[in-house]
Structure 1
Amino acid sequence: MTGEGEINAALTVFSLLQSPSFDLRKTYFLTAGVAGISPTVGTLGSVTFARYAVQVGLQYEFDARERPRGSPTGYVPLGSLAYDQYPSAIYGTEVFEVNDALRKLAVGFARTAVLNDTDTARAYRAHYASTPAFAPGASPPSVVECDTATSDTFWTGALLADAFENTTRLFTNGTGAYCTTQQEDNAVLAALVRGAIMGKVDFSRVIVMRVGSNFDRPYNGQSAAANRFGDSGGFVPALRNVYVGGVKVVQGIVNGWDEIFSGGVVPTNYIGDILGSLGGEPDFGYRIAFRVQTL
């Protein structure tokens, strides 16, 4: 357990990396936990695997009642003057990209699991069926490839969901597909990148998995407060699916260790942070954004 929130997660993982008791250079890291989920992509109990983790809270924030004129949101990227401008002030933890070839293997393993569902969760998600865009939210849980948003703030509602969907697209130059919300993943990945720089871990051996336990926005006719403070029935099947989905990934790696995983899964994409700290050229981020802007 890393502890909840970015500070706890970062310190826990980095402390583990400093322990002389472990040689983690060939270790596979599976981050696994519950998350909010967008009904446009998945539902309660859906098991998701991310290629990108985006720190959406790392922005200027205006109270929505005082947001800039003409802006649909009170969130503006750091160093920028509008919500749709790429941040010009980069801290280094805005975006992480993990090994997509490994992700696809993990997805294949997880899809062999029989996912849990409950009558309460079925009844709650049925409310989303009246909105065509929310059809995935009204469907049974499944395994989905989509990306995750990190913020210490536990937010909810259609307006913030739209804002952070925009942030995910913007920070990844249109590549990222937002679907889950959580409070730890960028912190965990930041610690692992630093561990990789020190030669203690292999960042190509990282898998980011989250399971939907609540919806990030209400169904048609429901208030954001009712969505957040009510009981969707999603927490119990989500916890169960963290295990049943995750254990299939662990078993797949262990069973295929000699043939595939001991030597590592060679990435077919850039891996690392927004700064290129592990080498290579990020296929997202400020370098590409500024290059496009100057063409």
Structure 2
Amino acid sequence: MQPRHVTMHMLARAAGSLLAASWLWVAVAAAMIPAEAARMAPKVLIISMFPPEAQVWYDGMPSSGLGSLLAVNVSTPGLSMLFPHVHCVADQSVCQVTTGESEINAATTVAAVALSGRFDLRRTYVLVAGIAGVNPRHATLGSVALARFAVQVALQYEFDAREKPANFSTGYFAFGAAGPGDYPTTLYGTEVLELSVALRDAAFALAARADLADDAGSVAIRARYAARGRAAFAAAAGPPAVVRCDAATSDVYFSGALLSEAFENTTRTWTNGSGVYCMSAQEDNATLEVLLRMAIEGRVDFSRIILMRTGSDFDRPPPGLTAYEHLVLLDQNGFDIALDNIYRAGIEIVKGILADWDSRYEKGLEPTNYVGDVFGSLGGEPDFGPGSITDGKPVLPGGMTGDLVKRGVAPRRRGGGAGRGIPIRVPVPVPGGQG
């Protein structure tokens, strides 16, 4: 194609068109977001991590009777440049935001929403709803998991497996510990976050109403886990189901039996034997930590958070395949049904909350278990870890509790097996507890 001759007249016309378009966009934006808009108080805020997880809500909501999630679109500083709006139905009872993938993206977006001043989230139910890797010991492709615990499993020391000591089962081991299987003696505070069991069980009952999606490709993949009589993988060979088990957070997209088993053990150890790892994702502890800090400030209610993940791919290979073949070469076929089941199960939760708002959900469900982080920041005594660092009292908003480090808990220097977080005295965990 011959190059086009560009004249000053053509440049001027183009500039004029761009200027007109920019002013049009400003006008549209102004109409979309009134300068002095009242704060929205959604009953449910859906948190998605990347576009396919969001799209199922945009596509499905209009037929739910709740309206289009794209009816109201709000922008606020700090949202992802890729996903610069919080979307809401016309009556603002349900809103949705996409954070972007990874812990950093999740934390910055959720903080931006909570601190924006555009939303009153004090009585909002937060539904974190995304796809995940699935542990074949406890669930399968397309399964829907409701979690009590989120565990930041990669927040550890790590040796390359080729350099680990011969008596180590994995290259991962906890900060301040001597080897795998020991509880950390240095904590950053985000290692484990525990959610309300009462709300999880209510969400489980609502999600169980859903007719979950499945397909022939996923059935064929699942059948591989039934090979050679592997009873441990019986859940993997079955159809999609709604289950209660826990989430592991890692920015690294890990795959393979050895890493998956290591993080199963991490989850079990760090939750004092109560946690059951079944879903792996990249964002949950970051999202929950932001919401916990907002709860300290009275901006959200941490007992109103639901963590739901659906299985899109297995975290380890079936018999007869290498970890590489499983991750890179095999099409596991679970992506589409996992996305579909986000909406199928999620909409039942959303509709259930809205339907029983006046009679049940407006006042909230009283937690029956400890809710919060390993430090006991929201008050009460954690049922995992070394115990509250504030003697069971909640951290006060606005920094009124004071600097806890200056009050006798100081960071360690790096080296000699020490981490860089809060050094603690760790009792020997007693296995057991309610899942």
TM surpasses 0.5: yes
| 1:85 counterpart = 2:221 | no
1:287: Cα distance to partner?
Answer: 2.8
Q: Percent identity?
A: 54
1:290 aligns with 2:409: no
Matches within 5 A, 1:121-140: 121-130=218-227, 131-140=230-239
Residue type of the alignment partner of 1:208: L
In the alignment, structure 1 residue 184 sits paired with structure 2 residue 283: yes
Q: Partner of 1:256 in structure 2?
A: 356
CA drift of 1:285 comes to 1.4
Give the number of the structure with larger relative contact order, counting CA–CA contacts within 8 Å between residues 6 or more apart: 1
1:145 to 234, 239, 244: 244
- 1:19 is displaced (CA, Å) by 1.1
Give secondary structure in 1 for the equivalent of 2:313. Answer: strand
Find the aligned partners of 1:78 and 1:292 in 2 and give their Cα distance: 16
Counterpart residue type for residue 236 of structure 2: G
Aligned to 1:35: 132
More helix per residue: 1
Q: Quote the offset at 1:290 in angstroms.
A: 2.3
Q: For each residue in 1:15-61, what CA deviation from the matched residue of structure 2 results, as whole angstroms up to 9, or x when unmatched? A: 10011111110000000000000111000000000000000010000
1:69 & 1:225 partners in 2: Cα distance?
A: 24
For residues 165 and 183 of structure 2, the distance between their equivalents in structure 1, rounded to whole angstroms, comes to 17
Deviation string, structure 1 residues 53-107 (Cα, Å, up to 9, x no partner):
0000100000001112301100010111111110011000000000000000000
Q: Which residue of 1 aligns with 2:297?
A: 198
Larger-gyration structure (1/2): 2
Q: Which residue of 206, 225, 245 maps to 2:324?
A: 225
Determine if contact 1:86/1:286 at 8 Å carries over to the other structure: no
Whether 1:161 aligns to 2:260 is yes
- Return the letter of the residue paired with 2:123: K
1:136, 1:7 → 2: CA distance? 33
Aligned to 2:167: 70
User: Separation in 1 of the partners of 2:280 and 2:325?
Assistant: 18
- Deviating 4+ runs (over 4 angstroms): none
Q: Please name the residue that 1:271 is paired with.
A: 371
* DSSP-derived class of the 1:210 partner: strand
What's the counterpart of residue 3 of structure 1? 100
Q: Distance in 1 between matches of 2:297 and 2:206?
A: 31
Using the alignment, how far apart are the partners of 2:386 and 2:179 within structure 1?
16
Whole-Å separation in 2 of the counterparts to 1:291 and 1:160 = 26
* Inter-partner Cα distance in structure 2 for 1:52 and 1:94: 10
Q: 2:197 corresponds to which residue? A: 100
Q: Secondary structure at the match of 2:130?
A: strand
* SS at 1:31 equivalent: strand
Q: Distance in 1 between matches of 2:179 and 2:427?
A: 19
Task: Point out where structure 2 has 5 or more consecutive residues left out of the alignment.
Answer: 1-97, 389-424, 430-435
Aligned with 1:174 (options 262, 265, 273):
273
Range with bigger deviation, 225-234 or 4-13: 225-234
**Structure 1 letter corresponding to 2:371:** I
Looking at structure 1, the residues matched to 236 and 215 of structure 2 have their Cα atoms a distance apart, in angstroms, of 14
Unmatched runs of 5 consecutive residues or more in structure 1 = none
**Aligned residue type for 1:259:** S
Q: Tell me, in whole angstroms, the C-alpha distance in 1 between the residues paired with 2:386 and 2:254.
A: 26
Deviation at 1:172, TM superposition (A): 0.5
Matched, 1:17 2:114: yes
2:309 is matched with 210
Distance (whole Å) between structure 1 residues aligned to residue 267 and residue 384 of structure 2: 11
In 2, the alpha carbon distance for the partners of 1:47 and 1:54 equals 18
C-alpha distance in 1 between matches for 2:264 and 2:384: 16
Question: Partner of 1:290: helix, strand, or coil?
Answer: coil
Quick one: distance in 2 between partners of 1:263 and 1:68?
53
Supply the distance in 1 between the matched residues of 2:218 and 2:381 (Cα, whole angstroms). 43
Does the 8 A contact of 1:149 with 1:168 survive in 2? yes
TM-score normalised over the length of structure 2? 0.67
Q: Per-residue deviation at 1:291?
A: 3.4
Q: Deviations over 1:179-214 (max 9, x none)?
A: 010000000000000100111000000000000000
Q: Number of paired residues?
A: 294
The question of whether the paired residues in 1 share the 8 Å contact of 2:376 and 2:387 is answered with no
Question: Aligned equivalents of 1:35 and 1:178: distance in 2?
Answer: 12
Matched residue, 1:53:
150
Secondary structure in structure 2 of the residue aligned to 1:149: strand
**SS at 1:8's partner residue?**
helix
**What do you get for the CA RMSD once the two structures are aligned?**
1.3
